[in-house]
């Protein structure tokens, strides 16, 4: 097969752009930093939404929708917060054909507008916990955009919750972290993630505790795949979110926020993709089995349609490609690029012998399979290849992660992968020095891999890396 | 039960606002004309999305996502189109902390930006039809906002398709009209709709044919619930959407567009609501059966939980209300307001006799039902009440629709309902006169109720009404 995309080893960023273009995932939009998510890419997002939404609702959260436009004054209410965003804001100054009395901001997050509503909706302890989630677009002006990873507009899910006490807020923020995000990323996206704690320097403005999920990309860099935050009472104080309780009187609530974005699509590409294009984990794939008519011939089309129906009846997400007026080789390259987990190639010669060819994207293997054994073979291949992709990603991460003892060694290791180093050997001063060299502390974890309650715990391990 | 909302007969617009507030469907947003859709309201939208999305995909369309921000120049490309929108545009002049070289517009529709992409993506006849749909927020600055009906930001689905010829475009626009919209509105929303053709005056700018679905609200006014448009080659010419074909050479495509919005939620409220609040059709309802613990007592909570599980296992969308520390009367009023189709009231006294009380929102009837017959009774009630709501809405529309012969009679009838009048007795001049009196031609239909191909067909019937 000819070279369709730039090899990863030659130029990883170029490879990434090639895959996005050739697999028809997305285009640049006409306004700098915006993106058009094409049907092939958007189908990935829809599958992510469905899997995440079910998990989010299982925690008791309800979806709602808050306005795109936020009064500028809301963003100055919590000064610490606005400093993190103000250069990134898109500001609407004209509406209804005239200049607005007060400019409005296109939401960079809905935190303030949701806080304002919570303050109104919450009266007594009976209203707590209040667990809200929103699927929406947000805008943060981006000067160095990269599709899916950093775009001026992106799609996300943002959860905002209020609780009666710190323990309940912490338990919920961690439930989202593990039961929603980690479970989804590991079991659906087949991406190993390190779940840890951000340092004070890397923490979200206004949060008391930020828990990220970090994944290693195919070039050894880290991508933050999602975060869950405890905001303590900071946010509730700024927005006056209080509740009454006959025993305690009136108290400020404890809040959390948590989100994942379309950047996860970039993560899937950069973790699983190879030099032939995408490889989509079967549990994520909008099309799990791609039934291809190799060329027309006695009974080929009906046989392919029958296989499509049998696979669909077995619960497999399946598509039929019967475009026999387009060269098979071209269609096969396109199927590789798009990363369908398995292909079932139905041709007249094989069919005359009662077989079809099963092609597995994970390793490129091609196996003849008897027609009446196809459904079982596909179902088995999908289950195996979901595991295989996870195992490969985990091995790649392990191979590029080194345990070191000093900051100097860590910075050296971060040139090609991740360094695990005692946090005591880095500290705030070492972190600043690392940052100057383009390396960040991705997160802190306990020696056993668990999430720390504080960065002052003894024996914490810091993960240092370059990052997207 | 005390008066919770203003009676409809006293003040219909006030009743509408009361229901939205008391049923916790939505609030006004801080920026004028925007709305906060609360969980109870958003759950309706999610159910609408799920039902519509399945129907849209069944026609072969694929979802995609296009940017929120559109260069101002795109909207001047199709002059006819921009005239319809320019006073409604929200304009971003600042981004990234400075003034933008070219202002960008917050999408009032994605038609132009999708047209631009289609021009790029479509090469040959093999790429047609191209069937795209998007779920998104759009902004049209609104000076006289009313929640769900007219808001500066609203949520919608917008479909945009390109076809090789006029016949294919027409067939698809009508397939969306009937198989997606009409089927959904009649069978899920339980709202009778007249499906017709807009006059030239009412037609969408740039369209050659606009097909609306019109419903009568509880006050006799019309609400346009959705539209499907044929755009001929107008739009393809403006955006240079062409395709090649070995026989014909290069031709402009034929395009369609079609959409429905969160205003449908307003339609459901105004068609089915009564003086106790909402009535949600069972097939739409996020909660179809609301199991209420009347008060605590021997075995009451476990019995209620068992009923909840049994209903869920039978495929009923069910919620359990066991908040026994809140007065039952207050919870019952809230359940009426929110319009749950059936309530199952579980109390200690009834339970001692082996029964619970089934309350049907459609008619307020309360019936004792043996515990082991509840699931069957609920399933039957849901099916019957879906039909009952449709029948009531149809009767209300029939009662308030009169057949008249002249424009004068039609205008008189439009004071309280709909007038059906020969289009030949109205014409363009009569339509202008009606408009001056606040009455519009909602649509034209054939005598047998079918959708006309042109407004010049003989014997067409015009429906005149006041409208939202
Ligand atoms: Zn904050
Ligand atoms: Zn147009």
How confident is the model over A121-137, as pLDDT tens digits? 999 999 999 999 999 99
Segment A270-280 shows an average pLDDT of: 98
Residues from chain A that touch B116, judged by Cβ atoms under 8 A, are: 30
A107 CA distance to ligand 1 middle (Å): 13
Question: Domain ranges in chain B?
Answer: 12-272, 289-397, 401-465
- Cβ–Cβ of B153/A31 closer than 8 Å? no
Tell me the residues surrounding ligand 2 (ion) with CB < 5 Å: B 81, 206
Q: How far apart are CA B30 and CA A69, in angstroms?
A: 8
Sign of dihedral through CA atoms A439, A442, A443, A444? negative
Mean of the per-residue pLDDT values of chain B: 95
Chain B touched by A152 (CB under 8 Å): yes
Contact A35, A148 (CB under 8 A): yes
Classify domain A12-272 at the CATH topology level: BirA Bifunctional Protein; domain 2 (3.30.930)
Chain A touched by B432 (CB under 8 Å): no
Confidence of residue A85 (pLDDT cuts 50, 70, 90): low
Residues 289-328 of A with CB under 8 A from B: 323, 325-326
Identify the pLDDT of residue B154: 98
Q: How far apart are the first and last CA of chain A?
A: 31
Q: How far apart are CA A422 and CA A461, in angstroms?
A: 5
Among chain B residues, the shortest Cα distance to A133 is held by B39
Task: Specify the residue for token string 């943060």.
Answer: A140
Supply B393's token pair.
């809405």
Identify the pLDDT of residue A80: 54
Sign of dihedral through CA atoms B408, B448, B213, B43? positive
SS3 B369: strand
The counts of H helices and E strands in chain B are 15, 23
Among chain A residues, the shortest Cα distance to B74 is held by A30
| Tens of pLDDT, residues A23-70 | 999 999 999 899 999 999 999 999 999 999 999 999 999 999 999 999
Identify the pLDDT of residue A63: 98
> Residue A114 above 60 pLDDT?
yes
Supply A316's token pair.
């497999």
Supply A119's token pair.
């303050």
Interface A-B, measured as beta-carbon pairs within 8 A, has a size of 165
Supply B170's token pair.
């027409």
| Tens of pLDDT, residues B307-361 | 999 999 999 999 999 999 999 999 999 999 999 999 999 999 999 999 999 999 9
Contact B406, B422 (CB under 8 A): no
Share of chain A above pLDDT 70, in %: 98
Nearest CB to A66 within list B36, B67, B89: B36
Residue in B65, B437, B139 with CA at minimum distance from that of residue A96: B139
Q: How many CB atoms lie within 10 A of CB A58?
A: 11
Confidence of residue B30 (pLDDT cuts 50, 70, 90): very high
Supply B4's token pair.
């919770």
Which ligand has an atom closest to residue A206 CA?
1
Identify the pLDDT of residue A284: 98
Residue in B401, B411, B280, B260 with CA at minimum distance from that of residue B339: B280
- Please list, in sequence order, all residues whose beta carbon lies within 8 angstroms of the beta carbon of residue B50, skipping any fewer than 6 positions away: none
- Cβ–Cβ of A94/B91 closer than 8 Å? yes
SS3 A93: strand
Domain B401-465 has CATH 3.30.110: yes
Which ligand has an atom closest to residue B231 CA?
2
Sign of dihedral through CA atoms B200, B202, B207, B212? negative
A63 CA distance to ligand 1 middle (Å): 21
SS3 A177: helix
Residue in B281, B215, B245, B274 with CA at minimum distance from that of residue B128: B245
| Tens of pLDDT, residues B414-466 | 999 999 999 999 999 999 999 999 999 999 999 999 999 999 999 999 999 99
Among chain B residues, the shortest Cα distance to A43 is held by B63
> Residue B248 above 90 pLDDT?
no
Identify the pLDDT of residue A98: 84
Q: How far apart are the first and last CA of chain B?
A: 31
Cis peptide bond N-terminal to A129, omega within 30 = yes
| Tens of pLDDT, residues B112-147 | 999 999 999 999 999 999 999 999 999 999 989 999
Task: Specify the residue for token string 């006050």.
Answer: B219
A113 CA distance to ligand 1 middle (Å): 11
Segment B32-39 shows an average pLDDT of: 96
Q: How far apart are CA B239 and CA B162, in angstroms?
A: 12
Chain A touched by B419 (CB under 8 Å): no
Min distance A23 CA to chain B CA atoms (Å): 13
Supply B95's token pair.
């981004």
CA A37 vs. chain centroid, Å, equals: 15
Nearest CB to A92 within list B39, B70, B92: B92
Identify the pLDDT of residue A86: 79
Residue in B248, B251, B209 with CA at minimum distance from that of residue B232: B209
Supply B65's token pair.
């996502």
What is the β-pairing status of strands B98-106 and B35-37?
Answer: unpaired
Contact A405, A425 (CB under 8 A): yes
- Cβ–Cβ of B90/A95 closer than 8 Å? yes
Residues from chain B that touch A27, judged by Cβ atoms under 8 A, are: 117, 120
Residue in A339, A386, A378, A384 with CA at minimum distance from that of residue A357: A378
> Residue A83 above 60 pLDDT?
no
Residues 354-383 of A with CB under 8 A from B: none
Chain A touched by B158 (CB under 8 Å): no
> Residue B403 above 60 pLDDT?
yes
Min distance B65 CA to chain A CA atoms (Å): 5
Nearest CB to A155 within list B65, B152, B326: B65
Supply B105's token pair.
């517009």
The counts of H helices and E strands in chain A are 15, 23
- Cβ–Cβ of B36/A91 closer than 8 Å? no
| Tens of pLDDT, residues A200-241 | 999 988 899 999 999 999 999 999 999 999 999 999 999 999
Chain A touched by B91 (CB under 8 Å): yes
| Tens of pLDDT, residues B65-99 | 999 999 988 887 665 554 545 788 999 988 888 88
Can you give the pTM of this predicted structure? 0.96
Chain A touched by B35 (CB under 8 Å): yes
Q: How far apart are CA A463 and CA A391, in angstroms?
A: 21
Give buried/exposed letters for A68-104 (b at 16+ CB in 10 A, else e). Answer: bbbbbebbeebeebbeebeebbbbbbbbbeeebeebb
- Cβ–Cβ of A90/B88 closer than 8 Å? no
Architecture of domain B289-397: 3-Layer(aba) Sandwich (3.40)
SS3 A23: coil
- Please list, in sequence order, all residues whose beta carbon lies within 8 angstroms of the beta carbon of residue B3, skipping any fewer than 6 positions away: none
Q: How far apart are CA B74 and CA A267, in angstroms?
A: 33
Within B319-416, residue ranges assigned H as helices are 328-338, 348-352, 374-399, 407-413
């Amino acid at each position: 097969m000819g070279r369709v995309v730039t090899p990863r080893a030659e130029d990883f960023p170029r490879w990434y752009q090639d895959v996005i273009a050739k697999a028809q995932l997305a285009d640049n939009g006409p306004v700098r930093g915006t993106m058009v998510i094409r049907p092939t890419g958007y189908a990935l997002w829809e599958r992510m939404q469905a899997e995440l939404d079910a998990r989010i609702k299982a925690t008791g959260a309800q979806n709602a929708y808050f306005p795109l436009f936020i009064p500028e004054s809301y963003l100055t209410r919590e000064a610490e917060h606005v400093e993190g965003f103000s250069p990134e804001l898109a500001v609407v100054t004209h509406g209804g054909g005239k200049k607005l009395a007060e400019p409005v901001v296109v939401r960079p997050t809905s935190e303030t507008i949701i806080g304002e509503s919570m303050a109104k909706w919450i009266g007594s302890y009976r209203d707590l916990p209040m667990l809200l989630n929103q699927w929406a677009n947000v805008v943060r002006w981006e000067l160095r955009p990269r599709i899916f990873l950093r775009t001026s507009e992106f799609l996300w899910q943002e959860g905002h919750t209020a609780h009666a006490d710190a323990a309940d807020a912490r338990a919920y923020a961690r439930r989202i972290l593990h039961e929603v995000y980690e479970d989804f990323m590991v079991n659906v996206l087949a991406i190993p993630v390190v779940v840890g704690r951000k340092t004070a320097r890397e923490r979200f403005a206004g949060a008391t505790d930020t828990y990220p999920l970090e994944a290693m990309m195919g070039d050894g860099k880290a991508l933050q795949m999602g975060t869950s935050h405890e905001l303590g009472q900071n946010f509730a104080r700024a927005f006056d979110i209080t509740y009454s309780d006959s025993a305690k009187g009136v108290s400020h609530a404890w809040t959390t926020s948590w989100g994942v974005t379309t950047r996860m699509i970039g993560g899937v590409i950069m973790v699983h993709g190879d030099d032939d294009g995408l490889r989509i984990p079967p549990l994520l794939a909008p099309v799990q089995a791609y039934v291809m008519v190799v060329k027309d011939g006695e009974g080929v089309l009906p046989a392919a349609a029958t296989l499509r129906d049998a696979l669909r009846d077995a619960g497999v997400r399946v598509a039929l490609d019967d475009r026999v007026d387009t060269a098979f080789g071209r269609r096969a390259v396109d199927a590789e690029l798009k990363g369908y987990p398995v292909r079932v190639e139905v041709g007249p010669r094989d069919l005359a012998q009662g077989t079809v060819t099963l092609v597995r994207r994970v390793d490129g293997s091609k196996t003849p399979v008897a027609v009446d054994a196809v459904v079982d073979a596909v179902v088995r291949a999908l289950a195996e290849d979901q595991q295989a992709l996870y195992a490969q990603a985990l091995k790649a991460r392990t191979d590029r992660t080194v345990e070191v003892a000093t900051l100097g060694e860590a910075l050296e290791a971060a040139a090609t992968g991740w360094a695990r180093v005692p946090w005591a050997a880095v500290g705030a001063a070492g972190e600043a020095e690392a940052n100057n060299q383009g390396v960040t502390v991705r997160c802190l974890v306990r020696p056993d891999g668990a999430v720390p309650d504080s960065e002052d715990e003894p024996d914490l391990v810091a993960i240092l890396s370059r990052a997207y």
